[in-house]
Amino acid sequence: MTDAASTGTTFQPRVFSGIQPSGGLTLGNYLGAMRRFVDWQDKGLNDGFETIFCMVDLHAITVWQDPEALRRQTRELAAGYIASGLDPAKAILFNQSQVHEHTQLAWIFNCIARMGWMQRMTQWKDKAGKNQQNASLGLFAYPSLMAADILVYHATHVPVGEDQKQHIELTRDIAIKFNNDYGVDFFPVTEPVIEGAATRVMSLRDGSKKMSKSDPSDMARINMTDDADAIAQKIRKARTDPEALPSEAEGLDGRAEARNLVNIYAALADQTVDQVLADVGGKQFSEFKPMLAELAVAKLSPISTEMARLMEAPDEIDAILRNGAERARAIAAPVLKKTYDIVGMIR
Ligand code: AQP
């Protein structure tokens, strides 16, 4: 149960999360988000709460997307969700633009959130870079739409990677301010759920940068559609240091690239970093990298094969998304109506 912002109304647990179809899915998306969505789906089924997973296509267009590529990437993301273990019969899967309540609530939240809150967002600063005047207004307002994505379902828990923590905190601030401004206990104060060995998978070329779909270098990331040769080559060429692997986690301090590869291994093997190092401590990277490549191929190949199979039937993917959108709308519409009543709209 999660408390409302002010006087302690309790909300039934409900899980929401999303991924942008802004490129091909990466190992970072898989380990930091998607694989954990599957755990939540199964927990939801056992404990009787809903889980809602979205392809946030409206977020993707905050930076330019070729329309045909966007459609393909959205279907590919849906295929990635399903191939990773999400089941449309168990969880709600849909693309954001089909449920208009997201953008309608986002407008209300644009009027709640403050410019200063948005200006502090590190994703805004990173993505807009030095040329903020030329960035889209949508990129600036991104976190407000994200708050709407979550709160239009009264979601109480949002599994995300480390990079999204600040946006979830802003979602909480918006819920609290809305509830205070209107004297209601309407929106829950959502919990970010950031857990596991790979909450921040780093670039294979630069251990200080997050692995990202939009990194200009394809060698910086493992794509979920990469074949065995590509995965092995990227791991072989991954930047490392000349030292052998340590036997304990403290030995990874100050060695960002080494830490990243060990974290990836641990996450893929479902082990802790200490368990991995107990086995591989003392080995050189020339020995460890082939082990990692073999493990990555064994875990990822069945997913990419299944994604390719699903992509052969795009109509079936579209039907799944339409059905998911209908189920999502059934939850979102009453929340939006009530929000309009609170705000003072005549309907
Ligand atoms: N490198 C990562 N490590 C762990 N988790 C990650 N996530 C993304 N990259 C990593 C998690 O994946 C979910 C979906 O992210 P997103 O696509 O909505 O946006 P993002 O975080 O901006 O992802 P990218 O790959 O970096 O996309 P682009 O390049 O388009 O900006 C989130 O839960 C995120 O934490």
Residue 92 reports pLDDT greater than 60: yes
Q: Which residues are the active-site residues?
A: 127, 210, 213
Average pLDDT for 207-227: 94
Per the domain annotation, does 3 fall within a domain? Answer: no
Per the domain annotation, does 53 fall within a domain? Answer: yes
Going by pLDDT thresholds of 50, 70 and 90, the confidence category of residue 198 is confident
**Separation between Cα atoms, residue 214 and residue 33, nearest integer Å:** 17
Per the domain annotation, does 1 fall within a domain? Answer: no
CATH number at residue 139: 3.40.50.620
Give me the number of domains the chain comprises. Answer: 2
CATH number at residue 267: 1.10.240.10
pLDDT tens, 246-290? Answer: 999 999 999 999 999 999 999 999 999 999 999 999 999 999 999
**Separation between Cα atoms, residue 44 and residue 36, nearest integer Å:** 12
Co-location of 300 and 174 in the same domain: no
Domain containing 231: what range?
218-309
Co-location of 32 and 146 in the same domain: yes
pLDDT at 336: 98
DSSP state of 1: -
Alpha helix (H) ranges present in the chain?
27-29, 35-47, 57-60, 67-83, 101-112, 115-119, 122-128, 137-151, 165-182, 228-237, 256-269, 273-280, 285-311, 314-343
Co-location of 163 and 261 in the same domain: no
pLDDT at 3: 55
pLDDT at 196: 82
Binding pocket residue ranges, ligand 1, CB within 6 Å: 19-20, 22-23, 26, 28-29, 32-33, 160-161, 163-164, 198-201, 210-214
Per the domain annotation, does 8 fall within a domain? Answer: no
Element spanning 94, H or E: strand 92-95
Per the domain annotation, does 210 fall within a domain? Answer: no
Co-location of 195 and 269 in the same domain: no
Going by pLDDT thresholds of 50, 70 and 90, the confidence category of residue 7 is very low
Which of 38, 77, 212, 261 has most ligand 1 atoms within 8 Å of CB, for mutation? 212
pLDDT tens, 157-171? Answer: 999 999 999 999 999
Per the domain annotation, does 156 fall within a domain? Answer: yes
Read off the amino acid at residue 285. Answer: F
Per the domain annotation, does 207 fall within a domain? Answer: no
**Separation between Cα atoms, residue 203 and residue 10, nearest integer Å:** 40
Co-location of 255 and 180 in the same domain: no
Co-location of 126 and 241 in the same domain: no
pTM, entire model: 0.94
Contact call for residues 99 and 61 (beta carbons, < 8 A): no
Average pLDDT for 100-108: 98
Of 230, 216, 225, 221, the closest CA to residue 203 belongs to 221
**Separation between Cα atoms, residue 106 and residue 101, nearest integer Å:** 8
In the reported structure, the alpha carbon of residue 121 is separated from the centroid of ligand 1 by a whole-number distance in angstroms of 15
